[in-house]
Structures are given as structure tokens and as C-alpha cells.
Amino acid sequence: MELMSENNSLSFPAHKEIVRAQIERFHVYYIDYFQREETLRMVEYFFEKVYNVEGKQDWVRIAIEGFDKVKSMIKESTRDSMEELLELNYLTDRLDTMMAEILLKKGWNGEQISREYYDSLFSELGHEEDRKKQLFHVLKNMRQFYSLAHRPINSIILKPAKFMSKILGIYPLFATVEEGYHACLPVKSDIFESFYADVEKKEWNYLKERFPNISK
């Protein structure tokens, strides 16, 4: 699992710009949820935290080096959330890196790209099957984190798990999961289900706009 090198003068900025444009799209598509106090932390987590490239190299390194060694010690629901988060981050990073490479080949020099240009890069990259897989992981990730936050027993289990993660050296990974837990906690079930349905519909429609021949 590799990330674009921050030492390459324009590679990392290009990657950041791809992520910025993607987050901008999310803010447009889900503006209602970004404007509601109850859902703000949740959408910031799912649409900003997961896509943030700042500090991701250390986060992924810790995950790779430590998670396999300790996953058998973690409660199943927490472990599943961690695994899903890792898979989503890996796939998203790989696709964003490839889009950034196309952007650089087109002579990008650091300027902010438009939504239309981002969409054209998205289509040009292709990888329809990977995009379908990415959406599957996004939806599953949302469902798992909401479920994790609304099982009463997990509020008790998280404390010793947090302590253990620090001892085992995987706290940055656990902290990311814990943040998702707290982001979903205040959201009522009916609101979450409405949000989930919106994401499923709008993201699938976006894929169909980019790839007219795509099928579920």
C-alpha cells in the first residue's frame, strides 16, 4: 500500500487538489447535511476526514504495521469498522493518486481546478469497477460506523480498547474509528437512513453520469 510521495514537488499538491475538488463536490451534493447541527460532524467525518491526505502516510504506516498483529484482540464490530476504513482509504488513495497523475500530465501548475474539469478527469481515468467497489465500501463504512455508535455496549468496550490501542501502538488508527463513533452518535435513525439513501442515490447517479454504460 503506497501513497504519493510528498517529496515530489507537484505530486503531493496535485493529490491534495484532487481531494479538495472531490470534497467540494460533496459539499454541493450534501449541503443540507453540512448545514444541520445534528449531522455536521457525521458528514465532516465521512466526506472530509476519510479523504484528507494530510498526515495519511503515518496513519497508513501504523495501520499496516500494527493492525494484523492486534486485530484478534479487538471486538468484532470495532475490528470490522477498522478493516472497512482501511480498505476504503487504500482504494480511495489509489484512485486519487492516478487522477493526480493525469492532472500533472496535462500540465497542471498548482491552480485550483473547476468542478467540470474534475469530472472530466474522473471520467478519463475510468476504472469503473474500482469506482463501484469504492461506493460499496463508502456505504458499508457508513452503515458499520452508525451501527457501532448505536450499540450501547460499545460505549463501555471502547474505553479499554482505547487503552489497549495505545499500549499496542495503533492508537492513530483507533482514534480515527473513535472519531467516527462520536460523529454518528447524535444522529437519529430516521435521519441517518435518509442520509444513507441520498448518498446511495446521488453517488450512483454520479457514476452513471461519468460512465453511461456502467451497471450495478
User: How do residues 70-90 score in pLDDT, each as one tens digit?
Assistant: 555 555 555 565 666 777 778
User: What does each of the 216 residues of the chain score in pLDDT, given as a tens digit?
Assistant: 444 444 356 788 899 899 999 999 999 999 999 999 999 999 998 888 777 655 555 555 555 555 555 555 555 555 565 666 777 778 888 899 999 999 999 989 889 999 999 999 999 999 999 999 999 988 988 888 888 777 654 554 565 555 555 555 566 666 677 777 788 888 999 999 999 999 999 999 999 999 998 887
185 inside domain: yes
Q: What is the per-residue pLDDT for 6?
A: 40
Specify whether the CB–CB gap between 81 and 184 falls below 8 A: no
Please state, in angstroms and rounded to a whole number, the distance separating the CA atoms of residues 195 and 34: 11
Exposed e or buried b per residue across 162-195, where buried means at least 16 C-beta atoms within 10 angstroms of its C-beta:
eeebeebebbbbbebbbebbebbbebeeeebeeb
176 inside domain: yes
Q: What is the per-residue pLDDT for 215?
A: 82
48 inside domain: yes
103 inside domain: yes
3 inside domain: no
92 inside domain: yes
Q: Nearest Cα to 185, choosing from 32, 8, 62, 40? A: 40
32 inside domain: yes
Q: Cα-atom radius of gyration of the chain, to the nearest Å?
A: 18
Q: What is the per-residue pLDDT for 65?
A: 57
Q: What is the per-residue pLDDT for 5?
A: 41
Sorted by sequence, the CB contacts under 8 Å of residue 33 that are 6+ apart come out as: 39, 40, 42, 43, 195, 198
Instruction: Tell me which residue range forms the domain holding 159.
Output: 11-210
Domain count, the chain: 1
Q: How many CA atoms lie within 13 A of 87 on its CB side?
A: 16
Please state, in angstroms and rounded to a whole number, the distance separating the CA atoms of residues 194 and 39: 11
pTM for this prediction? 0.77
6 inside domain: no
Please state, in angstroms and rounded to a whole number, the distance separating the CA atoms of residues 164 and 170: 9
